Amino acid sequence: MASGMYRIILLLLFETGLEIDHLINLRVSDLDIESGQLRVAADRKIQLSSAALSEIREFLKSRPGQVYLLEGRCGKPVTSKWKRCVLENLLQKAGQEK
């Protein structure tokens, strides 16, 4: 079972339908925990499930001051190399769970 950031990635990809490039550039400020909405464009918000919000809330508790929802080193969004590595890892894990 995926955990931590991997779980957040899977939940958000599944619930939002966003492309991974858009997902990795989301900021914590794009998330409104109170309303349960994620702003994905200036004029577009997506309602997240209570399960996803709970996971994200727990994930961010241990990362105070984080700017990007999926943050790499030095407070920057994750890189394309990281993205490829994470996706390959998730695919391997999914294949092993069958």
- Tokens describing residue 69: 């929802």
Instruction: Please state the pTM of the whole predicted model.
Output: 0.72
Which residue reads 């069958």 in tokens? Answer: 98
Q: What is the CATH number of the domain that holds 21?
A: 1.10.443.10
Number of domains present in the structure of the chain:
1
In angstroms, the CA 34 to CA 11 distance is: 18
64: which DSSP letter? T
Q: Which domain holds residue 77?
A: 4-96
In angstroms, the CA 60 to CA 46 distance is: 19
Question: What residues in the chain have per-residue pLDDT under 70?
Answer: 1-3, 72-80, 83, 91, 94-98
In angstroms, the CA 19 to CA 93 distance is: 20
